[in-house]
Structure 1
């Protein structure tokens, strides 16, 4: 990712000036804008901006605040995909297989998950993609949206999506991936001993939070 490149450059070339990650993204989008004859490529926020989140979410001091996105096989809205939700404090992962990634489908199946576990979700921060346009209708959970073209604002979820790619390759159909297989892959991530969690598992920490 661009953010990783910027970080590596700063680490290995400390004597050279280096723009920040947002500056690089703005430069790229500005070039895209002009290469398309000036047609606007800038996305508008779908709802509450990430800037409106309480400070406790940013600090990861309070659990049950999540980040969300989609992991896609074939990039067509009528194809199955995975909706991924990552809890920011514990890195616990919820993965929902969805039959397509139309906005109405994403909203309906997320609402079903929230209704199943009403005590799990205080907020979710999504990407600004059109597939999440109906998330403003969600009840029982506050929804926020990251800035356009700013994946580092949902870095916890992006990292877990990378782990999921071990089980779901880009460009491959997900039609043959059963719910049992999706759960098996999710369990593999949630049961993984991770350095960032002081070698606890995400499931272990998440269960401690929801039982306390």
Structure 2
């Protein structure tokens, strides 16, 4: 998985994004109490508990200080966390593409704290039901189902 934060107006709010690279399945992380390291750690631990273990092997993140508690996150989630270099966006191509799609729902310069956990689940549901050319016109939900039932992931 790849992950990062989308920052809202005046850096006063944020939403975490997790994108499974093979299936393009997106999880949006609600951060109602801020986006400093303890809040991001707690949100990642609680809001990724439902993700099947075979999809939680690795998490690649940018260089932000919000993941300084990565050892806690690794210990409590099952993710092995890696960090990208800070400037080359091509190392996070899937995340960059998803952020472009997310901006259709969460425009730049807006207050992201206005979106509830329910709102974020609905946005993710819509994105995961959207066919993708890279998936052969399948949806991320379909790709995830196939990935989870494949003999290689059992």
TM over 0.5: yes
CA RMSD of aligned residues (A): 1.5
- So what's the TM-score if we normalise by structure 2? 0.87
User: Which consecutive residues of structure 1, in runs of 5 or more, have no partner in the other structure?
Assistant: 1-65
Please name the residue that 2:149 is paired with: 211
Contact 1:73 1:171 in 2 (8 A): yes
Cα drift, residue 157 of structure 1: 1.1
Quick one: which of 25, 36, 51 aligns to 1:102? 36
In structure 2, relative to structure 1, the CA distance for the partners of 1:137 and 1:151 (3 Å cut) is farther
| Cα distance in 1 between the residues matched to 2:48 and 2:27 | 11
Cα drift, residue 101 of structure 1: 0.8
Higher relative contact order (CA 8 A, sep 6+): 2
Q: Name the SS of the counterpart of 1:116 in structure 2.
A: coil
User: Which consecutive residues of structure 2, in runs of 5 or more, have no partner in the other structure?
Assistant: none
The answer to which of 128-137 and 102-111 deviates more is 128-137
Contact 2:30 2:43 in 1 (8 A): no
Larger radius of gyration: 1
| Count of aligned pairs | 145
- So what's the TM-score if we normalise by structure 1? 0.64
Quick one: which of 158, 161, 168 aligns to 2:96? 158
4+ runs deviating over 3 angstroms: none
